[in-house]
Structure 1
Amino acid sequence: MSLVNAPALSMGSLSIPLDGLLLGAGVILGGYLLSRLVRAGLGRLLRARGRAPSFAAVFSTIGGWVFLGLAISVGLTVAFPSVRFSTFVGGLGIVSVAVGIAAQQVLGNLFAGILMVYREPFRIGDQVAVGEVRGTVIDVNLRETVIRTFDGKRVLIPNGVVHNDVITVQTGYERIRSTIILQLPSGTDFDRARTVALEAVRGVPAVHTDPPPGARVSGISSSTVTLAVKFWSGSTQLETNEALDAVIPAILTAYQGAGIKLNEETWQVELGPASVQALKDLTDPPPPHRT
């Protein structure tokens, strides 16, 4: 039966054939089901090519959306043959502009997410610092970046903020350098203090031997010389903390055994007249009680 003789819905002067309407609905439904297959297949293909899970998830989702959009366009054209496709696209463009103006921040996060996933400045599982937030990246989607902080909190940061901020990727390399500052009295034998500290650091299993640890004088004052001990360890927060937790007691124990003392901190405080009077009131004996 041709579409000309098929039953039709009449809406004023507009007549819509039922066969075309059902066929258009079928095209849209079939396009929706195929878009899910496209999304799953594209995701597997990208992961097989070595792409990060976040990259595969985002771009497979975009591919599914594009396929579904095309299916909806074809289905509407079949269901409403009297409506020109160019008119529909033009109307859709106007609606897109209006939505874009009303949701600039949402679209900004969307495009920032696409750029970050494509460029991959970090991956899921990396430990990063974004502003004051430090932790492990557990998800990157089209809206936000999800970080689990080192104290167990779940933080959602909009992609626009992450894209425009300075990002420190702690696990960007396999090794990271840590520094321990030692304050030594000015009369200390610094060559011996350096040798004892380096021997103690080399004996810690968590410290890498390549590059080797080092120690240099980094500051001086009237009574104190600063010795900076630097060493390399694994780049994760746990590896760094374990290395520091082992290196500091090792240096202190070695210094105690070698008779090397750390400088005792002294503070010089300048007090104003009001503070001097307040201290005097606290230290002066109370006046005798009159009966």
Structure 2
Amino acid sequence: MYPFVLAQTQGPLDNPTGEIADATKNLIESLLQALPRVGIAVAIVIIGYLVSRLTRWGLNKVFSRNQTPSFARVMSKLAGWTVLGVAVLMALTAVFPSVKPVDLLAGLGFFSVAVGFAFQDILENTLSGVLLLFRQPFQSGDQIMVQDEAGTVEAITIRETRLKTFDGKLVVIPNRDVYKNAIIVQTHYDQRRLSFMVGAAYENDAAEACGVVVNTLRSVEGVAEDPAPEALISQLGVSTVDIEARFWADPRQHEARVLTDRAIKAVKVALEEAGIEMPADIVALQATPSFRAAIQGDSDVTPGGGLKTA
């Protein structure tokens, strides 16, 4: 009875070697059946890549005619990535015919939400960069100021704006900070107003001093004729009548600083030749009673702070 039971127990057991062989055979058959679809998918991706490169090249040429180089570069890249993304979706549909494009788009929607939370800063900078390129408040070569940073715009990429400061440093500002904050574009217009202060003595005629300043500014090379230079009394100082000299010139930082230097030197010489004094501010010192007594000799404390000796 035991041999019969043993044989009956061992009979239904499957052959492990046969199962592995069958599984391997089925896998090979599945791969062979899917091989044409995989080849089609690879071909779609390759063609999509080539089309995306061609799209980037063509759009870059088209946009460069009427837009800034940064706009052309970024927009052509986005278009190329879009074409490549569509090609990848088509390739997945070719490999898995049961998967519909609508299902892929729905899955990408959930995936995009997850990626959005994970890479919020990157996506925010990217979106801000695209908006900046469409609005174009400035372009490469402009001199701008954002928060405490000022310099010449070297490039506007999808994620950041690169500035070369006036002392030769590179500053990389995230596009979201550029988009959210006030932007001062110094070179947006052909001219900008420059100014400096001049102090004329009270003994001199203030109107005459203003006239000398205006006439001198008109003779300085680089000062714009329209709008005309101005000399306005800004306040009455302690020892001088303070005059603000205003003039319009090239908006670029270096040129503006050099021209201001020349204008100040010319105005100083002209005022001196006209006999108009430019005294320094007078500082009035009021001594305390103890200090006055020490000077007059009526105190036991010397002016230096020590005690008198008998």
Q: Please, what TM-score do these two structures have when normalized by structure 2?
A: 0.82
Structure 1 residue matching 2:232: 3-state secondary structure: strand
2:50 is aligned with 1:29: no
Q: Does the alignment pair 1:157 with 2:157?
A: no
User: 1:99 is matched with which residue?
Assistant: 115
The alpha-carbon deviation at position 198 of structure 1 amounts to: 1.3
Q: What residue is the counterpart of 1:43 in the other structure?
A: 60
Q: Is the 8 A contact 1:39 1:63 kept in 2?
A: yes
Cα distance, 1:52 vs. partner?
0.7
Cα shift at 1:287: 7.8
Normalized per residue, the structure richer in strand is 1
Q: 2:241 aligns with which of 225, 230, 249?
A: 225
Displacement after TM superposition at 1:268 (Å): 5.4
CA distance 1:170–1:282, change in 2 (3 Å): farther
- 2:90 aligned with 1:74: yes
Structure 2 Cα separation of the partners of residues 232 and 63 of structure 1: 43
Query: Is the counterpart of residue 206 in structure 1 residue 222 in structure 2?
Result: yes
Instruction: Note the aligned Cα RMSD (angstroms).
Output: 2.5
Instruction: Classify 1:137/1:214 alpha carbon distance in 2 versus 1 (closer, same or farther; 3 Å).
Output: same
Bigger helix fraction: 2
Report the Cα offset of residue 223 of structure 1.
3.7
Q: Distance in 1 between matches of 2:43 and 2:97?
A: 15
Q: CA separation in 2, counterparts of 1:187 and 1:193? A: 11
How many residues were matched structurally? Answer: 273
- Do the aligned partners of 1:9 and 1:15 also contact (CA within 8 Å) in 2? no
Task: Please state how far the C-alpha of 1:30 moved relative to its aligned partner.
Answer: 1.1
Measured after TM superposition, the shift of residue 130 of structure 1 is: 0.6
- Residue 81 to residue 281, structure 1, CA distance change in 2 (3 Å): farther
Q: Displacement of 1:74 after TM fit?
A: 0.8
1:16–1:80: 8 Å Cα contact kept in structure 2?
A: no
**What is the DSSP-based 3-state SS (H/G/I as helix, E as strand, rest coil) of the residue aligned with 1:265?**
coil
Q: Distance in 2 between matches of 1:148 and 1:47?
A: 23
> What is the rounded CA distance, in whole Å, between the counterparts of 2:110 and 2:216 in structure 1?
70
1:247-277 CA distance string (max 9 Å, x none): 00001111111111113113457999xxxxx
Q: Is the 8 A contact 1:206 1:242 kept in 2?
A: no
**Higher Cα radius of gyration:** 2
1:202-248 CA distance string (max 9 Å, x none): 11111111111011111124543221110011111122012101100
Q: Which moved more, 1:202-211 or 1:113-122?
A: 202-211
Contact 2:144 2:185 (8 Å CA) reproduced: yes
* Cα deviation, residue 57, structure 1: 0.8
113 and 82 in structure 1: CA distance in 2 versus 1, 3 angstrom threshold? same
Mapped pair 1:284 → 2:300: no
**Alignment deviations for residues 118-177 of structure 1 (CA, whole Å, 9 cap, x no partner):** 000001000001111111000001100000000000000000000011100000001011
d(CA) in 2 for partners of 1:244, 1:75: 64
Cα pair distance change 1:99/1:16, threshold 3 Å: farther
65-74 or 156-165: bigger deviation = 65-74
1:236 and 2:252 aligned: yes
Once residues 114 and 26 of structure 1 are traced to their aligned partners in structure 2, the CA distance between those partners, rounded to angstroms, is 32
Q: How much has 1:192 moved relative to structure 2?
A: 1.1
Matches of 2:76 and 2:302, distance apart in 1? 75
Closer/same/farther in 2, CA of residues 11 and 92 from structure 1, 3 Å limit: farther
Deviation at 1:13, TM superposition (A): 9.2
Matches of residues 146-185 of structure 1 in structure 2 within 5 Å?
Answer: 146-185=162-201
Q: Is 113-122 or 69-78 further displaced after alignment?
A: 69-78
Match in the other structure for 2:278: 262
Instruction: Kindly provide the amino acid, as one letter, of the partner of residue 194 in structure 1.
Output: C
Paired with 1:270 and 1:40, the residues of 2 have a C-alpha distance of: 77
Asked if structure 2 preserves the Cα contact closer than 8 Å seen for 1:9 and 1:17, the reply is no
Name the CA shift for 1:155/1:271 in 2 (closer, same or farther; >3 Å). farther
Unaligned runs of 5+ in 2: 1-24, 289-300
Q: Is the 8 A contact 1:146 1:157 kept in 2?
A: yes
Following the alignment from structure 1 to structure 2, what is the Cα–Cα distance between the partners of residues 104 and 12? 45
Residue of 168, 187, 190 corresponding to 2:206: 190
Report if aligned partners of 2:240, 2:281 keep a CA contact under 8 Å in 1: no
Indicate the residue corresponding to 1:17 in structure 2.
Answer: 34
Q: Is the 8 A contact 1:109 1:142 kept in 2?
A: yes
What is the identity, as a one-letter code, of the residue corresponding to 1:55?
F
